[in-house]
Structure 1
């Protein structure tokens, strides 16, 4: 029987976007059907395989996208979001493969669902880009998400604090306004995709918060204070309002976590 660790490594080893999506869906389905052992002893790569395109640039070298007022701007924004979702596939499966043995099997189940969601999100965005005459890889992108993963590869609490509870939570803050902009431009197809992603991401942030608090309880740590300490060490940016407090609270990420670190 194949192990969870082996299945996760196969996702990370897939460079072609279609292959990565298929590997993610296959791993999640095999786990759901009880066809994977819960063994997570296989070493995860430091960096996942990537296609030749898009070109990866430092964040400060990325061209300005604008706010999506033109079709070109909307394509650029959808491409950036597709790259985020593509990276998020690897983030979910690296989390399982690297740290799944430290938690109950329900941890694996939660993040397998997240990984399958991210694969579906990427596929939806890639298809939409093709409908608009573009494709994933047509524009440059940056690898900031994986940089955060690499920096926290030795500490699951730091990984949970930064990736789902900071970076994905930021999506909860900005996506509703993005949906509205697409609707105002008459791009209802893109708006529908982004709205679906938004509601799924609430569950993803909830999974991050849930297992972060589980880890804190195991170590007898105060969750909010522990999160603030880890974010201060491992997150290079700043937490800036506006915050979508209601969506964050639905995900278990209450203001006691982020309000003390918020910068105007």
Structure 2
């Protein structure tokens, strides 16, 4: 790997419009980083917005098809399509944090963790994309909304805010809702889709744990109390309420205790 390879490679992925190639390029870069004997992070400036394919069309959330899980395949396709779109955003968010904060004084293990997360998000997208094809559809067949990337734009200048909002709000929300989706898919007889979501759920616990770990590490570096700081940042930068019920068990597995989020339930 060259001195610019990791940060510049992250930017190349962000500038890749094809969702499939973005995911596969992310997996290749992560493998190269793991196998490299001479790691250099380098510096690179990410784009304001990542490149995206022509489809899906981006629309307001109310115009996106409902994700009703049941015997009808259309509802399950809508669910998996929405999740694939979330995972595509998650790929870009992970590589954006690698590139955007490449000039910060951060340990190499910080980059190790985010490369690992980017790799798993790519895997999640490819699993969902393949399952959509098995059901007779594909990513881009339905409209999607662009709300997730707003979290990147809102926290572009503040690593602490980015950690507070992306892994500790958005990904933690995934821990709340995914077990019920798995249960409903199993009830509908779609065990293959349920198995994909089970893989995603287990690995997302680790993503929330990484976000919480580095949030608390950065708070310690800046002499800030983490719980109150997180609540202030979420109230400032996150649009919408923290919606209960919370999956306290899954969040606890990520080392994310209720004293963080319960005081903000339904208030932000």
**Same fold at TM > 0.5:** yes
The 8 Å contact of residues 40 and 99 in structure 1, kept in 2 or not, is answered as no
Q: 1:206 aligns with which of 198, 206, 209?
A: 209
Deviation at 1:91, TM superposition (A): 0.6
The 8 Å contact of residues 148 and 162 in structure 1, kept in 2 or not, is answered as yes
Tell me how large the CA RMSD over aligned residues is: 1.4
| Partner SS state of residue 29, structure 1 | helix
The count of corresponding residues between Structure 1 and Structure 2 is: 264
- Counterpart in 1 of 2:61? 59
Cα deviations across residues 76-122 of structure 1 (Å, max 9, x unaligned)? 00000000011111110001111144210001000111000011100
The 8 Å contact of residues 40 and 98 in structure 1, kept in 2 or not, is answered as no
Deviation at 1:4, TM superposition (A): 1.3
Deviation at 1:145, TM superposition (A): 1.2
2:181 is aligned with 1:175 = no
Distance 1:228 1:69, change over 3 A: farther
Bigger Cα displacement from structure 2, 102-111 vs 66-75 = 66-75
- Provide structure 2 residue ranges, at least 5 long, that are not aligned to the other structure: none
- Counterpart in 2 of 1:16? 18
| Partner SS state of residue 116, structure 1 | helix
The 8 Å contact of residues 30 and 36 in structure 1, kept in 2 or not, is answered as no
- Counterpart in 2 of 1:236? 239
TM-score, with normalisation over the residues of structure 1? 0.96
Q: 1:80 aligns with which of 79, 82, 86?
A: 82
TM-score, with normalisation over the residues of structure 2? 0.95
Bigger Cα displacement from structure 2, 208-217 vs 20-29 = 20-29
What are the residue-to-residue correspondences of 1:78-227 with 2, within 5 Å?
78-102=80-104, 103-227=106-230
- Provide structure 1 residue ranges, at least 5 long, that are not aligned to the other structure: none
| Partner SS state of residue 144, structure 1 | coil
Cα deviations across residues 29-74 of structure 1 (Å, max 9, x unaligned)? 1111126743342111000000000001122332333344521100
Distance 1:29 1:12, change over 3 A: same
